[in-house]
Amino acid sequence: MAEVEETLKRIQSQKGVQGIIIINAEGIPIKSTLDNSSTVQYAGLLHQLVMKTRSTVRDLDPQNDLTFLRVRSKKNEIMIAPDKDYFLIVIQNPSD
């Protein structure tokens, strides 16, 4: 558990990282470094996106599974790593 905490701290300290959100399988944010309203917004929207993506990937080949999802936009990049029960979302601005 400490290891995980350490890793998260390291991620947070990387340059350009704006926030980290952990949400559970139902889309409820468990942990976040952003403010409440943003967290809820990100969680709600991204949860659906990840479900859809995962469904797509697995539909094409059931033995396959989604490893991670990157959404790169003009201002920043949203990286999502899904797991069976959790999603980890990191928002980074790589050009900072």
Partner 1 sequence: MPGIQRTGPVKNKRGSNTQSQPAKVAATKLAKASTKKKDEDDGTEMGDGTDEWMQRKTLIKPPDQLDLTEAELKEEFTRILTANNPHAPENIVRYSFKELLYQRTGSIDQLATHFMLEGNLLHQDSDEARRQKARQGYPEGMVPIATEAKEEKPDTLQAEVEEVMEEGGSEDRSDSVQHKGGKPEQKQTNQFNFIERGSKTLNNPLRQMGCQTEPPPRANFSATANQWVIYDAYVEELQKQENNKEKQRASMKKEEGKSKKKTMLVETQSDDITKFRKVTKIVERMVIQNTFDDIAQDFKYFEDASDEFRQQEGTLLPLWKFQYDKVKGLAVTSLCWNQRYKDLFGVGLGSYDFTKQGHGMLLFYSLKNSTFPEYFYTTSSGIMCLDIHPNLSHLVAVGFYNGCVAVYNLKEKSIQPLYTSTAMSGMLTQPVWQVKWQKDDMDNNHNFFSVSSDGRVVSWTLVKNEMVFTDIVKLAVGDSVTGGLEGLQLPNPACGTSFDFHKEVDYLFLVGTEEGKIYKCSKAYSSQFLDTYDGHHMAVDAVRWNHFHPKVFISCSADWTIKIWDHTVRTPMFTFDLNSAVGDVAWSPYSSTVFAAVTTDGKVHVFDLNINKYEAICHQPVVAKKTKLTHIEFHPVYPIIIVGDDRGCVTSLKLSPNLRKKPKEKKRQELPEGPEVEIAKMEKLLNLLQDPDNSSLG
Tell me how far apart the alpha carbons of residues 1 and 13 are, in angstroms, rounded to a whole number. Answer: 19
Minimum distance of partner 1 from residue 44's CB (angstroms): 19
Which C-beta is closer to partner 1: that of 18 or that of 38?
18
Tell me how far apart the alpha carbons of residues 52 and 59 are, in angstroms, rounded to a whole number. Answer: 10
- Would you count residue 68 as binding partner 1 (CB under 8 A)? yes
Supply 63's token pair: 């033995």
- Would you count residue 17 as binding partner 1 (CB under 8 A)? yes
Q: What is the dihedral of CA 39, 86, 81, 93, to 10 degrees?
A: 20
Would you say 90 and 8 are in contact if contact means Cβ atoms under 8 Å apart?
no
Tell me how far apart the alpha carbons of residues 10 and 63 are, in angstroms, rounded to a whole number. Answer: 33
- Would you count residue 16 as binding partner 1 (CB under 8 A)? yes
Pick the binder of partner 1 from 23, 46, 50, 79 (CB under 8 A): 79
Which spans of this chain sit near partner 1 (rule: CB under 8 A)?
Answer: 1, 3-4, 7-8, 10-11, 14-17, 20, 22, 55, 58-59, 62-63, 67-68, 70, 77, 79, 81-88, 90, 92, 94
